[in-house]
Structure 1
Amino acid sequence: MNAIPPFLDHLVLAAPDLAAAVAEFTRRTGVAPAPGGVHVGRGTRNHLVALGDRSYLEIIGPDPEQCAPGGPRPFEVDGLTTARTLTWAIAPPDLDAAIAAARDQGYDPGPATPMSRRRPDGTLLRWRLTDGEDAHPSGLVPFLIDWGDAPHPTAADLPRTPLLTMSGSAPDPDGIRPLVRSLGTELALTTGPVGLSFTVDTPRGPVTFG
């Protein structure tokens, strides 16, 4: 199995305090994540780091400059007590075909929902992704994303920490593997508590985040 899953778009490192998570990543790696943008109306913002090719790390947390949203913030960041790698996303060549293929194999990743955020330079990015209540609760089964005509986040000359490996664990990995494969990708899985981890190459050597 490949150390890096096919069609990987990004990993999601969520935190209750975004500034603290960004500072910790910088301290451990020697690489400072770049401001990504604001999720208007959802109460979050993010910082980004390129992982190589067209993949990146999203560090996401509450945006102190926004009013509290009407519903829960994405990735349940309000319920976190520490930064955690919660889930990941893939960008298949055809999002709608990938959803249909997964449903044919017995897994429904949910409908594709339009979303947007504004970059610090004012550029509005729009994309579609499978999101919400249909996501597998473990976070080990990726959600799907399609950037359409929008510039991919990695086109913004992000700071870079090449991804070396990523893996997950679950009490019943054999129950997770078919769901991941139904989406046309793979994830190295072992038996253990539910969790995702990844290792990046940095100026300070390989660093692992969980």
Structure 2
Amino acid sequence: MTNVEPRLDHLVYGVPDLLAGVRAVADLLGVDPVPGGRHPDNGTQNYLVGLGGRAYLEVIGPDPTATRPPTAFGLATLTVPRLVTWAVRTPDLDQAVSDARGAGHDPGEPRPMSRRTPDGQLLEWRLAKREPSPRDGLVPFLIDWGSAPHPADSGLPQVRLLALRAEHPDPESVRADLRAVGVHLELTRADAPTLRAEIEGPGGRVELR
């Protein structure tokens, strides 16, 4: 990956209709995302594609079998597919949260999460994420996989992430929060906040935003 934060864990591509969104991503990238699992506490389900190295693309939407609206990433009100935010990994979530707060940015309270993979394996991890996402999703949330197997190591279909960049009406405010969590993101001024990922797959080069 070039021009990409080395601690990138995954990109979050939110879709209002999960199966339709997965089909659209497959057509765009030229590979079929594979089922990740369900998040019962959030009413969501995801599909995954590897981005090279220990990074992946998460296509996430409302779980078709859930009995309540989704509670994460603004999916309950999402009307069109969108790159909603991104995550960076940390080996010590509590320290990373403390450091970020000391630098003026609150990434949220650390909390445990889990999902069961299609083969029945239970994955457990911790993350610090606020709702709604800070700076319109341009500031990443923090994730700590602990001893759990990382999704990127599970033989995912692969594409290549070439670049991750963003636009915002007030880029300096975003840069301050990015510095607080110790990450880099190429950022320029524009009228609307937008996260853009340039990806190369069998279907050629495409941009998700």
TM-score higher than 0.5: yes
Gaps of 5+ in 1: none
SS of the residue 1:129 aligns to: strand
**Equivalent in the alignment of 2:167:** 169
**Equivalent in the alignment of 2:144:** 146
**8 Å contact 2:166–2:194 — kept in the other structure?**
yes
**Equivalent in the alignment of 1:24:** 24
SS of the residue 1:52 aligns to: coil
Aligned-residue offset at 1:133: 3.8
Q: Out of 116, 129, 134, which is 2:114 matched to?
A: 116
Counterpart of 1:201, as a letter, is E
Gaps of 5+ in 2: none
Q: Out of 176, 179, 184, which is 1:186 matched to?
A: 184
**Equivalent in the alignment of 1:37:** 37
Aligned-residue offset at 1:49: 0.5
Aligned ranges for residues 37-186 of structure 1 at < 5 Å? Answer: 37-68=37-68, 72-133=70-131, 135-186=133-184
Cα deviation, 1:129-163, whole Å, max 9, x if unaligned, reads: 01234841411110000011111011110001111
**Equivalent in the alignment of 2:8:** 8
**8 Å contact 1:166–1:188 — kept in the other structure?**
yes
**8 Å contact 2:113–2:126 — kept in the other structure?**
yes
Distance 1:120 1:59 in 2: 16
Q: 1:29 to 1:133 in 2, by over 3 A?
A: closer
**8 Å contact 2:93–2:128 — kept in the other structure?**
no
SS of the residue 1:107 aligns to: coil
**8 Å contact 1:8–1:89 — kept in the other structure?**
yes
Which deviates more, 151-160 or 93-102?
93-102
Q: 1:134 to 1:75 in 2, by over 3 A?
A: closer
Q: 1:132 to 1:105 in 2, by over 3 A?
A: closer
SS of the residue 1:26 aligns to: helix
**Equivalent in the alignment of 1:197:** 196
Counterpart of 1:85, as a letter, is L
RMSD over aligned CA atoms reads 1.4
Q: 1:148 to 1:168 in 2, by over 3 A?
A: same
Which deviates more, 134-143 or 162-171?
134-143
Distance 1:105 1:132 in 2: 17
SS of the residue 2:23 aligns to: helix
Counterpart of 2:183, as a letter, is T
